[in-house]
Amino acid sequence: MKIALDAMGGDNAPVETIKGAMMALEEIEGLELVLVGKKEIIEEELSKYSINKDKIEIVDAREIVLMTDEPVSAIKTKKDSSMNRTLELVKEGKVDASVSAGNTGALIAASQLRLKRIKGVLRPAIATMFPNKKGNMLMLDVGATADCKPDFLNQYAMMGSKYVELLMGKKNPTVGLLNIGTEEGKGNEITREAYELLKNNKRINFRGSIESTDMLNGDTDVVVTDGFTGNMVLKTSEGIAKFMLSSIKEEIGKSFIYKIGALLLKPALKNIVRKMDSSEYGGAIFLGLNGLSIKAHGNSDSTAIKNAIKVANRFAEMKFIDELKNIIDIQDKEIKL
């Protein structure tokens, strides 16, 4: 497999991106990497490593989409950005998948613009892993499409189920509709209509609505929602986790005894932080596009980059895009019947 990495994307690029790339090359057999960005900078970083460079190719790109850039205009004006060039390699079939930790909004816009939707896909979705009591689950859409129609959610359920089946090896994964109540008829217009579609969709293992208080109990493998709500839930989770951790820190600072307690508990607390940290999960993927574009978290360190490359590699090995095309084809035929 050959994977393109946006070497300049993310808060810790290029040091951590290149380091992550080196880790991936050591870990994944048969992997080849294309590092995209300013040639001289990449070469300088690479010179730090004694690794065999046969499996590394560099594609020069003179511009960088900054984390602070306005997404759409950055994509339009910075044609020679590392992000753009990375996606072009996917589009032209020169690589099997791509990874970027760069500006999320820009990557959403660029991925849609460069890779285009699979024929029959109503809207692409961003799918991401989320921790729960039994391990983790997939949530989608978490931000590609803010105004969703019920039909979109029905497709997300099918694409998400295929993801969990192939990537996590779980047969017949359970699907839940994210909602504010579990009884039929609960929710807003979108969820009420989506509920009907999901209930009647024989191609998924639908288990009804699920509330966000309970979604972490581990009984749902695929949590389906519109991009506005999904993004809101993701950001709320991040906000609450940060708030709790900072509250704990504040409390600890209040007494010497607490400080000793915290010292003893430090490794345990660190595990919690890691559990809540999205960078552990190897990023998010744009589902429904004609090509594999993986988004690593903006503040990814080398491990997170390596994990994202591993995920990209697995998706490519599974021929995930072909699998999705297959689902959409079958759905099209069913609709015509």
Closest distance of CB 157 from a second copy, Å: 18
Output phi, psi for 128, to 5 deg: -140, 155
| 113 neighbors 73 (Cβ within 8 angstroms) | no
Would you count residue 242 as binding a second copy (CB under 8 A)? yes
By CB under 8 A, which span of 19-27, 52-60, 265-273, 311-319 interacts with a second copy?
Answer: 265-273
* 236 part of the interface to a second copy, by CB under 8 A: yes
Based on the shown chain and the rule CB under 8 A, indicate whether residue 296 belongs to the binding site for a second copy.
Answer: no
Question: Alpha helix locations (H) across 15-142?
Answer: 15-27, 39-46, 71-77, 82-91, 104-115
Which structure tokens are listed for 250? 């504040």
Nearer to a second copy, 143 or 283 (CB): 143
Supply the DSSP string of 113-181, one letter for each residue: HHH-BPTT-SS-EEEEEEEETTEEEEEE-SSS-SS--HHHHHHHHHHHHHHHHHHS--SS-EEEEEES-
Q: Which of 335, 304, 324, 321 is nearest to 97 (CA)?
A: 321
191-220 positions binding a second copy, by CB under 8 A: 191, 211-216
Report the alpha-carbon angle 330-331-332, nearest 5.
90
Q: Is 268 in the site for a second copy (CB under 8 A)?
A: yes
15 lies in the site for a second copy, by CB under 8 A: no
**Contact call for residue 276 and a second copy (CB under 8 A):** yes
Q: By CB under 8 A, tell whether 151 contacts a second copy.
A: no
Told to check if 73 binds a second copy by CB under 8 A, we report no
67: contact with a second copy by CB under 8 A: no
Structure tokens belonging to residue 25: 């090359």
Nearer to a second copy, 188 or 326 (CB): 188
For a second copy, the binding residues (CB under 8 A) are 70, 105, 131-133, 143, 146-147, 178, 180-181, 183, 187-189, 191, 211-216, 226, 228-229, 231-233, 235-244, 246-248, 251-252, 254-255, 257-258, 260-265, 267-269, 271-272, 275-276
